[in-house]
């Protein structure tokens, strides 16, 4: 950790032009902390691995200045919308208030609006003559995190989950900013209809955390029952723990495949004083947790990415009672399907071997339930090659990162393609840390308040209009005849 911090300080203070590298370093650190979430760029800090834009900016399109001024004029309204959404966070598939705001805004702007897509998802369609069809997606869900920012618009919300437990709720992953960017994009595109042709589809997606929402929308009939046109292009963005003004837009793998798996060890309950009369599922679980790491260390090519994290262990209520069951919640990360297969097979094998070693019969072996998952998210190079010269008009060249290796974070935006493999895909990361706060945290060697999922995570209010501009530049650039 100290090694990372030293590098961060050197990059940030002695080489201010290399701030973009700082974000990459932070991404590497944060990627080790998060479960299912976006993780920003991760890589060793080699010049080859992360490259800023070196091409020639595109000629400024005729709409350029007008687009930016429309968004600037909308800035204060967007910031108020952001604060409102931030103060009223909702967990996955519970985003009724947020989706209501989105639906109302889109309707007022003249979009054809579909609600209840994949439970709480909203789709707005704006048809503007012949031309390409572009879908832009934002995620709406928050996290069960207790906010500690102390901001005047901090969340104090709590919610009762389906299992009866009450948890605090916070937008700790920036999905409030993502939703606001979508609302800003909606207004800008409605006002600039004379500057583009085609069909714009805006998607406010539920439940990105846990990577279930995109799949839910497609399975609910996004392109069939709900009649949403299949787009030519699908775009999305995510907040990144770098200063406002930094944008990462790179071809190739962006995020890893992931799986959420529940493992239940069965045992025989009994008195803690007489373990020989019971079969202890907690001890079995303890062995399994350490053995899982051997699958990665000894079963997988060291040059491949593979992660098995046990993020939750739930068993027992009393010191002197051996419980009947133990539940483990696992998160897997991978880039290649064969690596995933090796991990899942290995986990099953470890579970069963340990249970047998402790005397469990064949009909009482551990169960393995694959709860949810996503595939690696890959940006089409043609999309990125087309958008980056446009973005170079908005973002300083040394702040536009156009190459970095994939991260072990996960996303599900690309699953909105369903089985339409012809849809071209682009996903961009946008820095949302207030620059002075970011610099201060660096000098103190802290990763907060800009690391996703942290109780102190906060979005720079200037990133609201800035992110909207990035979204709009990307979107309008592909809606040209």
Q: In 3D, which of 44, 226, 222, 196 has the Cα closest to residue 131?
A: 196
Question: How far is CA 387 from each of CA 20, 436, 437, 477, 478, rounded to the nearest angstrom?
Answer: 19, 29, 30, 7, 8
Residue with tokens 């309008």: 476
C-alpha–C-alpha distance, residues 386 and 402, integer Å: 12
**If you ran DSSP here, which 8-state letter would residue 372 be given?**
E
Binding range to Zn ion, per CB under 5 A, among 88-96, 173-181, 226-234, 288-296: 173-181
Under rule CB under 5 A, which residues in 9-68 are in contact with Zn ion?
37-38
What tokens were used for 126? 């704006």
C-alpha–C-alpha distance, residues 429 and 65, integer Å: 23
| Residue 256 makes contact with Zn ion by CB under 5 A | no
What tokens were used for 245? 């003004």
Measured from the CB atom, the residue of 256 and 315 that comes closer to Zn ion is: 256
Measured from the CB atom, the residue of 52 and 121 that comes closer to Zn ion is: 121
| Residue 430 makes contact with Zn ion by CB under 5 A | no
Measured from the CB atom, the residue of 37 and 342 that comes closer to Zn ion is: 37
In whole angstroms, how close is the CB of 38 to Zn ion at the nearest point?
4
Measured from the CB atom, the residue of 111 and 427 that comes closer to Zn ion is: 427
CB–CB of 165/177 below 8 Å?
no
In whole angstroms, how close is the CB of 453 to Zn ion at the nearest point?
6
Question: How far is CA 278 from each of CA 23, 270, 368, rounded to the nearest angstrom?
Answer: 51, 5, 23
In whole angstroms, how close is the CB of 336 to Zn ion at the nearest point?
24
Measured from the CB atom, the residue of 173 and 202 that comes closer to Zn ion is: 173
Binding range to Zn ion, per CB under 5 A, among 172-180, 285-293, 328-336, 441-449: 172-180
Measured from the CB atom, the residue of 37 and 326 that comes closer to Zn ion is: 37
In whole angstroms, how close is the CB of 138 to Zn ion at the nearest point?
10
Measured from the CB atom, the residue of 37 and 475 that comes closer to Zn ion is: 37
In whole angstroms, how close is the CB of 13 to Zn ion at the nearest point?
29
Measured from the CB atom, the residue of 114 and 333 that comes closer to Zn ion is: 333
In whole angstroms, how close is the CB of 333 to Zn ion at the nearest point?
14
Binding range to Zn ion, per CB under 5 A, among 126-134, 166-174, 313-321, 440-448: 166-174
CB–CB of 266/355 below 8 Å?
yes
In whole angstroms, how close is the CB of 34 to Zn ion at the nearest point?
7
Helices assigned H by DSSP within 53-156 = 64-87, 96-108
Q: What is the DSSP string of 306-324?
A: EEEEEEEEE--SSTTEE-S
Measured from the CB atom, the residue of 300 and 459 that comes closer to Zn ion is: 459
How many chain residues are in contact with Zn ion, going by CB under 5 A? 3
Measured from the CB atom, the residue of 173 and 214 that comes closer to Zn ion is: 173
In whole angstroms, how close is the CB of 175 to Zn ion at the nearest point?
6
**If you ran DSSP here, which 8-state letter would residue 170 be given?**
B
In whole angstroms, how close is the CB of 27 to Zn ion at the nearest point?
13
CB–CB of 447/31 below 8 Å?
no
Burial, 421: exposed, middle or buried (Cβ in 10 Å; 0-12, 13-18, 19+)?
A: exposed
C-alpha–C-alpha distance, residues 220 and 469, integer Å: 31
What tokens were used for 272? 């803690």
CB–CB of 52/400 below 8 Å?
yes
| Residue 173 makes contact with Zn ion by CB under 5 A | yes
In whole angstroms, how close is the CB of 108 to Zn ion at the nearest point?
27
CB closest to Zn ion, residue no: 37
C-alpha–C-alpha distance, residues 93 and 233, integer Å: 25
Under rule CB under 5 A, which residues in 375-394 are in contact with Zn ion?
none
What tokens were used for 207? 């439940």
Interface residues with Zn ion (CB under 5 A) are 37-38, 173
């Amino acid at each position: 950790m100290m090694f990372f911090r030293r590098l961060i300080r050197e990059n940030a203070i002695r080489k201010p032009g290399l701030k973009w590298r700082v974000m990459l370093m932070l991404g590497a650190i944060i990627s080790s902390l998060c479960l299912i979430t976006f993780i920003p760029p991760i890589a060793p800090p080699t010049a080859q691995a992360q490259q800023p834009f070196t091409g020639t900016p595109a000629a400024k399109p005729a709409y350029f200045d007008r687009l930016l001024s429309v968004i600037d004029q909308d800035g204060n309204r967007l910031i108020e919308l952001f604060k409102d959404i931030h103060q009223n966070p909702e967990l996955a598939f519970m985003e009724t208030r947020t989706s209501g705001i989105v639906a109302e805004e889109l309707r007022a702007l003249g979009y054809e609006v579909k609600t209840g897509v994949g439970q709480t998802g909203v789709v707005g369609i704006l048809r503007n003559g012949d031309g390409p069809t572009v879908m832009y997606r934002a995620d709406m869900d928050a996290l069960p995190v207790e906010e500690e920012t102390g901001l005047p618009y901090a969340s104090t919300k709590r919610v009762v989950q389906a299992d009866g437990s009450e948890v605090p709720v916070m937008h700790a992953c920036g999905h409030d900013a993502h939703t606001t960017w979508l609302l800003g994009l909606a207004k800008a595109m409605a006002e600039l209809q004379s500057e583009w042709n085609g069909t714009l589809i805006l998607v406010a997606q539920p439940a990105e955390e846990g990577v279930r929402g995109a799949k839910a929308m497609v399975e609910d009939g996004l392109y069939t029952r709900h009649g949403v046109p299949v787009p030519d292009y699908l775009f999305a963005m995510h907040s990144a723990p770098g200063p406002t003004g930094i944008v990462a837009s790179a071809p190739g793998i962006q995020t890893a495949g992931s799986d959420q798996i529940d493992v239940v060890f069965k045992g025989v309950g009994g008195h803690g004083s007489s373990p020989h009369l019971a079969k202890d599922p907690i001890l079995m679980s303890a062995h399994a947790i350490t053995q899982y790491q051997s699958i990665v260390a000894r079963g997988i090519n060291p040059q491949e990415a593979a992660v098995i994290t046990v993020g939750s262990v739930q068993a027992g209520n009393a010191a002197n009672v051996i419980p009947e069951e133990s539940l483990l919640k696992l998160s897997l990360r991978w880039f290649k399907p064969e690596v995933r297969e090796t991990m899942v097979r290995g986990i099953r094998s470890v579970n069963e071997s340990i249970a047998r070693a402790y005397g469990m019969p064949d009909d009482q072996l551990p169960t393995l339930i694959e709860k949810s998952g996503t595939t690696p998210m890959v940006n089409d190079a043609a999309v990125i090659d087309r958008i980056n010269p446009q973005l170079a008009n908005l973002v300083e060249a040394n702040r536009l990162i156009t190459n970095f290796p994939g991260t072990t974070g996960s996303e599900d935006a690309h699953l909105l393609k369903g089985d339409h493999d012809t849809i071209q895909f682009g996903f961009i990361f946008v820095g949302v840390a207030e620059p002075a706060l970011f610099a201060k945290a660096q000098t103190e060697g802290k990763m907060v308040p800009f690391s996703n999922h942290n109780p102190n995570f906060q979005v720079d209010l200037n990133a609201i209009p800035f992110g909207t501009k990035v979204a709009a530049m990307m979107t309008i650039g592909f809606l040209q005849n």
